[in-house]
Structure 1
């Protein structure tokens, strides 16, 4: 049976509220996959993804980088919350790393097999996590945003990277896809990208319905990207 439980964790500044999902029929430790949220904040969307990951046998953790109770009710609030984080990418990374260290303490966590996925703003988050040089098996970026954090790193990227993206995404154009490829190659990352034609931003979100703005659910891209993710983690956790 898939079970979920809230997890409140803290740093010196504030508390954060995430959700853990796991299959209670599995005994012992299992690989860990963090789920990084969109610009709205940790929500049912990420919790549902965590449940799906739990069905695959993982300990899934829908993380929170905005802070407990800080969730957007509309696009204006979401932009404000996201921009607050984008003003200090080191602080954003610190909050992601806090979630990593927190879930490592869970008795079900196989700390040698850890990965992360993220959607939209969350895709940026998991790319920043990989860029930090963290010793993690792999990260998957769903219709993310690619701009580098402006933090100088010298070491190679250790985590394998899978980018799943729409060719018509207005938040990361084809030129940005190419730039990311050069960036990851310069850091000696093992990376790959699946780019879906006739596909815009937010293609995994059934509630996305703004074709004029380049944001619309795409069932085919949604299904294919999730399938590609499952094979990716099967490989990197093997």
Structure 2
């Protein structure tokens, strides 16, 4: 039976409100997978992803990087909340690190087995956490945004990285995919990318229906990317 619970945590001068999901029937500690949200803020979309991960045996944590009560009601609010974070990538990283450290304290968490996934803005978050050099197992970026954080980070990236992306994504063009590959290679990361043809941004979101803006749900890319992530986690958590 999959149980979901609110998970509040404090730090950096405020309170954050996430959601955890786990299988009650499973005994003992288990790997942790953090789920980083889109520009809207922590929502039912991420909770459902956490529940699906819990079904695979993980302690899944839909994190909150905006802060308790900070959720966008429309695109204008979403852009404002996201831009506040993008203006200070060190603060964004600090919030990701805080979420990681708090969930590692949970009684069901195997603190040595942590990974993160993220969607859109959350994909950027997943990459930023890996770029920090923190010792986590893996980072999975779904139709994310690739620009580096501009922080002084030169050490090797320890997390294995999986990027799942649409070739026609208007928020990260093919040239950006290549640039990310060079960046990860220079940081000695173990990385791979699956790039889906005829696929734009937000391909995992069933509510995405703006083809004129390059944003459209793609059932095939959605299913294939989730399956690839599933195999990726089996591999990295087996090491």
Instruction: Tell me what 1:68 maps to.
Output: 68
Distance 2:177 2:58 in 1: 29
Aligned to 1:229: 229
Residue 111 of structure 2: aligned partner: 111
Q: Give the Cα–Cα distance (whole angstroms) in 1 for the partners of residues 35 and 105 of structure 2.
A: 17
**1:45-81 residue CA offsets vs partner (Å, 9 max, x unmatched):** 0000000000000000000000000000000000000
Residue 44 of structure 1: aligned partner: 44
Once the 2 structures are TM-superposed, how far is the Cα of residue 112 of structure 1 from its aligned partner? Answer: 1.1
Question: Could you say what secondary structure the match of 1:192 adopts?
Answer: strand
For residue 33 of structure 2, give the secondary structure of its aligned residue in structure 1.
strand
Q: Detail structure 1 runs of 4+ shifted over 4 Å in the superposition.
A: none
- Corresponding position: 1:132 with 2:132: yes
Written as runs of structure 1 = structure 2, the 5 A alignment for 1:83-122 is: 83-122=83-122
Aligned to 1:22: 22
Alpha-carbon distance in structure 2 between the residues aligned to 1:8 and 1:30: 20
> 1:181-213: per-residue Cα shift (whole Å, max 9, x none)?
000000000000000000000000000000000
Partner of 1:184: 184
Q: How high is the TM-score relative to the length of structure 1?
A: 1.00
The alignment of Structure 1 onto Structure 2 pairs a total of residues equal to 238
Q: Distance in 1 between matches of 2:222 and 2:136?
A: 25
Q: Could you tell me how far apart the structure 1 residues matched to 2:12 and 2:221 are?
A: 40
- Over residues 151-176 of structure 1, what are the superposed CA-to-partner deviations in whole Å (9 max), with x where a residue is unaligned? 01121000000000000000000000
Q: Kindly tell me: are residues 191 and 12 of structure 1, through their superposed partners in 2, closer, same or farther at Cα, counting changes over 3 Å?
A: closer
1:13 positional shift: 1.6
Q: CA offsets, 1:13-50, max 9 Å, x none?
A: 21000000000000000000000000000000000000
Distance in 2 (CA, whole Å) between partners of 1:176 and 1:135 is 25
Q: Distance in 1 between matches of 2:145 and 2:40?
A: 15
Structure 1, unmatched stretches of 5+, are none
**CA RMSD between the two structures:** 0.4
The separation in 2 between residues aligned to 1:7 and 1:167, in whole angstroms, is: 36
Classify the secondary structure of the residue corresponding to 1:141.
Answer: strand
TM value normalised by structure 2: 0.99
Unaligned 5+ segments in structure 2 are: none
